[in-house]
Structure 1
Amino acid sequence: MVNSVALEGDGCGICSQVEAELIEVSRKLNCSREQEPDSNQCAGGQRLPVSAPILLQHYPLYRASDANCSGEDAAPPEERNVPFQEKYDVLSREASQKLLWWFRPRLILSGHTHSACEVLHGGSVPEISVPSFSWRNRNNPSFILGSLTSRDYALSKCFLPLEGTVLSTYCGAAGLLVVLALTGVGRLASPFPSAWTRLRMHRAR
């Protein structure tokens, strides 16, 4: 998991600390991949599993826009060609290249844009931007279930009901309850006039 908020590259305290930690993790990963792990930089250090990592972060790596994104949960057509702003909508080019260079990941999972997108970095590293999981941001929120191993992964996307469908269901159920309640009140009230009528007939006799 990468704290992508700290990858502004402006030398702030948290940015410097996070970058130093990422460089150290990168060094350990590279040592695990070395054919001769007893080199000076790797001797005596902790070894990580020999497996390409999966990056999980909030901001996507740099891409110009969502122009090449498609699918029912992608950005609306009128928004796909809107240029992204570096360090606001996506990471900067420099930070993106650093992460790809340091970790050589097999998969990147990101969010932030509220819309789904799948892109390839360097022609081989897939990045999946997960759409928002909130009706406040989109009418068809979704989430991803994943199965991960040291060599492979499998992802499945699950959608929540459309917000309009949920609201219609609630309104329909509320209307049905009102009708049932009024019908029940009418049935409870109907015996009283009948009893009053019988009492008047009895007195008339």
Structure 2
Amino acid sequence: MPRFGVRWTVALLLMLLLAGAFLFCEYLIYFPTILQCAWPRIGRARGAEGIDGRPADAALRAMVLSDTHLLGAVGGHWFDKLRREWQMERAFQTALWLLRPEIVFILGDIFDEGKWSSQKHWEDDVRRFHRMFRHSADTELVVLVGNHDIGFHYDAAVSPCRMDWFKLQRFEKVFNASSTRIVTKKGVNFLLVNSVALHGDGCPICQSVEKELIKLSRDLNCSLQNSQPGGGVTDGCEGSQLYPPTAPVMLQHYPLYRVSDAGCTGQDAAPPEERHLLFREKYDVLSKEASQRLLQWFKPRLVLSGHTHSGCEVVHDNKYPEVSVPSFSWRNRNNPSFILASVSPGGHALSKCFLPEESTVISVYCSAGACLLLLALAHCLWMKGLLQCLSLCLLGKHKSL
């Protein structure tokens, strides 16, 4: 083969190898990983006693993720921002296409710098969020508020990171809904809680949120009472809004109070060296008082929370299960995941869907780089050997003459 043809062949092989690695790592890798996930069937699992093997398509299909932390203009490096947002966009869009959820919940900390971003930077972050998490009209997207979205309640009044009405209303305006409310779909009540405002210190936002929670608790309790045989409008229920008479699924950013993650297991749990670190009330988890009030007011059949960036399953008071949803961003963990929930008025079932590990992507790129290097080296050695052979042949002919 002529040298010119050999060079072109080698160059083509190098380009194909590079393009193949890029195509696999940036597009195709999400498909085989998410195809392993499936909607769970509601059976005799915790929270679904007495429900006979209801098929998943008869229940509401809800996808739950948390802590996307879209990087902002101040602390986010452009390449880190580009990389993480591309990963989340591809994972989310692939999951929507393959799994077709009816509703998607994001449990707060949508943005990383909402606590201090200017209006211009906020609008840029919001624009990127809507591009990344675009969805069809038959999928409802519900967003909860987190401490990075509106500020930290515990910061001093002079801090630019402090929660205030402007940041809260700015968030609620973007997502066109109150941060504390009930979303009902297919007869299932989802209680959305602004857990950032549950510090119980009498701050105006805290008072407003607690007042709304008390009203929602009254509405749900009245709905349950009115559903009883022979039930009518009972005392104290005049003018209350009626909901399906089922216990709610409670969703919030902060977890309910627990001492630590010491009892958490699984591949998405906190690293072993961090599991025994004690949680701080009102910082890592809600306070004991706030947690007990929520459980007493609503008696939820399931609690879903975020904030810790790691997975965990706990049961409060031996009857209220809580699942902490890990971060959806590869910036926070090597193996992000999300929850697939099949929920009906009488039961629920959960499964976890893991996304590609970033270490796998890095390994593929490193392997492709090594193959490129070896192929280039082999080509150089082959060309060198060919030149030496030609030189010897020419030298031999010269001597014979």
Structure 2-normalised TM-score? 0.44
- TM-superposed deviation, 1:173: 2.8
Asked if the contact 1:116–1:131 (Cα under 8 Å) also holds between the matched residues in 2, the reply is: yes
* The one of 207, 213, 217 aligned to 1:26: 217
- TM-superposed deviation, 1:117: 0.8
SS in 2 for 1:138: coil
- TM-superposed deviation, 1:103: 0.7
Asked if the contact 1:108–1:126 (Cα under 8 Å) also holds between the matched residues in 2, the reply is: yes
Q: Tell me which protein shows more helix as a share of its residues.
A: 2
- TM-superposed deviation, 1:14: 1.4
- Whether 2:313 is the aligned partner of 1:118: answer yes
- TM-superposed deviation, 1:172: 2.4
- TM-superposed deviation, 1:156: 1.2
Ranked by relative contact order (alpha carbons within 8 Å, sequence separation 6 or more), the top structure is 2
Runs of 4+ in 1 over 3 A off after TM superposition: 174-187
- Whether 2:366 is the aligned partner of 1:171: answer yes
C-alpha spacing 1:162/1:37, structure 2 compared with 1 (3 Å): same
The residue number in structure 2 matching 1:96 is: 291
The residue number in structure 1 matching 2:352 is: 157
* The one of 182, 200, 212 aligned to 1:9: 200
- Whether 2:240 is the aligned partner of 1:45: answer yes
Residue deviations 1:102-145 (CA, integer Å, cap 9, x gap): 11100000011111111001101100001122222222211111
The residue number in structure 2 matching 1:131 is: 326
Asked if the contact 1:60–1:90 (Cα under 8 Å) also holds between the matched residues in 2, the reply is: yes
Identity of aligned residues (%): 63
The one-letter code matched in structure 2 to 1:61 is L
Structure 1 residue runs of 5 or longer lacking an equivalent are 195-205
Distance in 2 between residues matched to 1:62 and 1:90, nearest whole Å: 5
- TM-superposed deviation, 1:40: 2.4
Q: Say which is worse superposed, 67-76 or 52-61, in terms of deviation.
A: 67-76
Asked if the contact 1:31–1:37 (Cα under 8 Å) also holds between the matched residues in 2, the reply is: no
- TM-superposed deviation, 1:43: 2.6
Distance in 1 between residues matched to 2:295 and 2:360, nearest whole Å: 41
Asked if the contact 1:37–1:43 (Cα under 8 Å) also holds between the matched residues in 2, the reply is: no
* The one of 263, 280, 284 aligned to 1:68: 263
- TM-superposed deviation, 1:37: 3.8
The residue number in structure 2 matching 1:202 is: none
C-alpha spacing 1:145/1:185, structure 2 compared with 1 (3 Å): farther
Alignment root-mean-square deviation, CA: 2.5
Asked if the contact 2:194–2:252 (Cα under 8 Å) also holds between the matched residues in 1, the reply is: yes
Residue deviations 1:154-194 (CA, integer Å, cap 9, x gap): 2110111222111111222344456667889999xx9xxx9
Distance in 1 between residues matched to 2:197 and 2:239, nearest whole Å: 30
Bigger radius of gyration: 1
Distance in 2 between residues matched to 1:159 and 1:4, nearest whole Å: 26
Distance in 2 between residues matched to 1:186 and 1:14, nearest whole Å: 72
Asked if the contact 1:146–1:156 (Cα under 8 Å) also holds between the matched residues in 2, the reply is: yes
- TM-superposed deviation, 1:68: 1.0
Distance in 2 between residues matched to 1:170 and 1:10, nearest whole Å: 52
Distance in 2 between residues matched to 1:62 and 1:99, nearest whole Å: 11
Distance in 2 between residues matched to 1:80 and 1:116, nearest whole Å: 11
The one-letter code matched in structure 1 to 2:335 is N
The residue number in structure 2 matching 1:146 is: 341
The one-letter code matched in structure 2 to 1:83 is L
The one-letter code matched in structure 1 to 2:196 is V
SS in 2 for 1:136: coil
The residue number in structure 2 matching 1:83 is: 278
- TM-superposed deviation, 1:151: 1.3
Distance in 2 between residues matched to 1:145 and 1:22, nearest whole Å: 27
Structure 2 residue runs of 5 or longer lacking an equivalent are 1-191, 391-401
SS in 2 for 1:100: helix
C-alpha spacing 1:19/1:134, structure 2 compared with 1 (3 Å): same
- Whether 2:252 is the aligned partner of 1:57: answer yes
The residue number in structure 1 matching 2:301 is: 106
Asked if the contact 2:254–2:285 (Cα under 8 Å) also holds between the matched residues in 1, the reply is: yes
